[in-house]
Amino acid sequence: MVLIQQQQTALLPASKTKICNNVKSGAHAPLFFSTMKIFIYIIFITFSYSAHIKAEVQFSIAPSLLFFDYTEFNFNGSELNNETGTIPGIQLNLNTTINSHLDIKLSIAGYDGNVNYDGYTQFGSAIATTTDENIFRYSMHISTPLLNNANIFLSTTFHQWKRDIQGKGTVLGIFEKYQWREVSIGINTIFWTNEQGSWLAEAALLKTVNPEMYIDLSEADLGSTNLNLGTDTGARFQLSWVAKNTSNQNYGFSIFFETWDFGISDSNTTSGGTTSVSVYEPRSETRHSGIQFIVGFHY
């Protein structure tokens, strides 16, 4: 969503505390915490069952850099705004091999940082500012052998993205929170191996499910509302190198690219401010890439 611009010269609000407090009590909170509890329960059951049947378990930690790239478009296809930058993060993985036909991987990842915002205000004036990005996701990935050195997998991922567009001068900021689920299907394969390690490739097609967002216009005293976004498809590709096992540890790195789109949202009217306005979220494209450095431990 583009920024709001005041008609008169004015200072920004003293702080963004009011916005943050509103978001904490937003409509997304019950869904987020309920799905997180289910995910933690799945981790506990998976780890307990793996210990019971003495399955191979691997835990890995992956410091990451995400090359963030997000663009919104007008009805006529012209660009409304673009956000780009590098965001640090970390991913934790728990992988268990139940038997020769079933492998389960549970992952939690988070990224937090600032990126550049280049776009326009509601009144068509060019604006260059920054956006505070906070991204959190967790996923379950189930795979089974397909051919020699190749597996087919299904996965489901829950995404939460907090987007705090910073105000500048007489231009006020906007806080938005996105949530959606993702389902995907793909293949991975070891395509090269030698004495030092192995190269792996992974490709998946994905579908966004029930994407929605919370938008807060408190800085302009226009209230807040929720919007349903248009669903669309996407893809994810990853290339990894993993060193040969040494004792109970291994290490490696991976580079990845992921893409998905959101269609234009429905329109809704804000509430809780001195004035109500009708808002909608434009069509958007996400084109992220990144690199991870992986350290794993076998049990």
pTM to 2 decimals? 0.83
Identify the sign of the CA torsion 32, 89, 152, 100: negative
> Per-residue confidence at 17, pLDDT binned at 50, 70, 90?
very low
Specify the number of domains making up the chain: 1
Mean of pLDDT values over 105-116: 95
How sure is the predictor about 93, in pLDDT bands with cuts at 50, 70 and 90? Answer: very high
List the domain range (segments joined by +) for residue 95: 4-298
Decide if pLDDT at 36 tops 60: no
pLDDT tier at 37, thresholds 50, 70, 90: low
| DSSP labels, 42-81 | HHHHHHHHHHHTT-EEEEEEEEEEEEEEEEEE-TTS-EEE
Query: Which region holds residue 122: left if phi is over 0, alpha if psi is between -120 and 50, else beta?
Result: alpha
Contact 175, 167 (CB under 8 A): no
Helices (H) and strands (E) in the chain, counts: 2, 15
pLDDT at 12: 25
User: What is the DSSP track for 181-250?
Assistant: EEEEEEEEEEEEE-SSEEEEEEEEEEEEEEEEEEEE-GGGT--EEEEEPBP-EEEEEEEEEEEPPBTTEE
User: What is the pLDDT at residue 40?
Assistant: 56
- CATH number, domain at 58? 2.40.128.90
Amino acid 170: pLDDT? 86
Tens-digit pLDDT profile for residues 121-141: 877 889 999 999 999 999 999
- Model confidence over 239-276: pLDDT tens digits? 999 997 767 788 999 999 999 999 999 999 999 989 88
pLDDT of residue 248: 79
Q: What is the pLDDT of residue 165?
A: 94
- How many whole angstroms separate alpha carbon 287 and alpha carbon 82? 11
Q: How confident is the model at residue 120 (pLDDT cuts 50, 70, 90)?
A: confident
Among candidate residues 155, 204, 161, the one with its CA nearest the CA of residue 183 = 155
Reported as a pLDDT band with limits 50, 70 and 90, residue 151 is very high
